[in-house]
Amino acid sequence: HKTMSDQSNNDDITNTPTPENANVNAKCVGPSSTNAGKASSCEGCPNQQACASGSAKKQLDQDAANIQRALSENSSISNILLVLSGKGGVGKSTVACQLAQALASRGYNVGLLDVDICGPSAPHMLGVKGRQVHSSGSGWTPVYVNENLSVMSIAFLLPDVDAAVVWRGPRKNGLIKQFLCETDWGEQLDYLIVDTPPGTSDEHISTVQYLSSVKENGKVNVNALVVTTSEEASLADVRKELNFCQKTNLKVIGVVENMSSFQTPLQSLSFAKNGVDCTDEILKLLQSKCPEIMNGEIMAGSVLFTPPKSGGDSARDMAERYNVPYLGCLPLDPNLLKSCDEGLCFVEEFENSSATKAFTDIVDGVIKDLPPADVPMGEE
């Protein structure tokens, strides 16, 4: 197997150039244009010389050909789904990992690629932290969570789980390219879920750019799922993410609104009076006075974020304005958090939890929009 020390000596990673259209904007003509490096909008761009000389396009074409060949030779992938968000801390990795778990539980072959180079969390959330990948003649073998679900992450290459990755853009881009070119996902993947870092960083641009040619050649469906929370601080950044998707021609199959409310069984609540815990007293009182509400079927809840001010967008409004589907709203569910901490499949382990139906509906929406090439055994 390879460790991080092996990677640090890899010239391909160290010398990989930053993606050529790193400053994505409406006026960027792109490295493939005949005006690349010559248009007025190119002034001040750090990649202007590379675009003008044609080296940027040459490198882009070479990378695209390598990735297209690798994805065709190493695996047959029906759908690639990037899980994005312009804001950190909105539960993007939670959605990506539990979506992968849920799809695998239905019999689909699923891979999860963690391209959050500086903050990889997928191994922990999938219960495979501390494992290592192995290198063979066919490439890197990902770590298997179960027979239907495999994961690839930089975390498997680090010398220890708390090691920091302090890399600039070119090295990150180089590793992402290696993941795409050298990971052997097996003969068939119905879904490759890509967990990305927040924002519209090098990792986003690299991944989208590297996969664009595969999409254009009709080899695989490449789409995005965007995750947000309900407050305006998140929505403002997610709108930037949606603009990024529009400018890079990346189709968004839906928006997931996460953690908009808190829901839990009534008997799971704690109570305090004047700062002193009185949970036992209150629960006994409720049991004696209203036993019918203490049967585990009644859920208590609270809205966590205030609605947007007049004229502001809600997550649903934002999705409608950008003409993308609103896939649903996930409440903050302690069992969902527990599932990620223990590497469990939430929808299987907690069938009656507060977020289970909402998450199942989201999974159904993904499958409906992105059907795999073959129906898994046992399903019709």
pLDDT value for 94? 96
Total number of residues shown for the chain: 380
In DSSP terms, 151 is beta-bridged to: 112, 143
Residues of the chain with pLDDT under 70: 1-33, 46, 56-57, 59-61, 64, 68, 70-75, 200-202, 212-219, 307-312, 374-380
pLDDT value for 167? 74
Q: What is the pTM of this model?
A: 0.81
Q: d(Cα 100, Cα 109) in Å, to the nearest integer? A: 9
Return the residue matching tokens 């993606």. Answer: 19
Strand 76-84 to strand 149-153: parallel, antiparallel, or no bridges (unpaired)?
Answer: unpaired
CA angle, residues 207, 212, 213, in degrees to nearest 5: 125
> What average pLDDT does the chain have?
82
Burial classification of residue 233, based on how many CB atoms lie within 10 Å of its CB (0-12 exposed, 13-18 middle, 19 or more buried): exposed
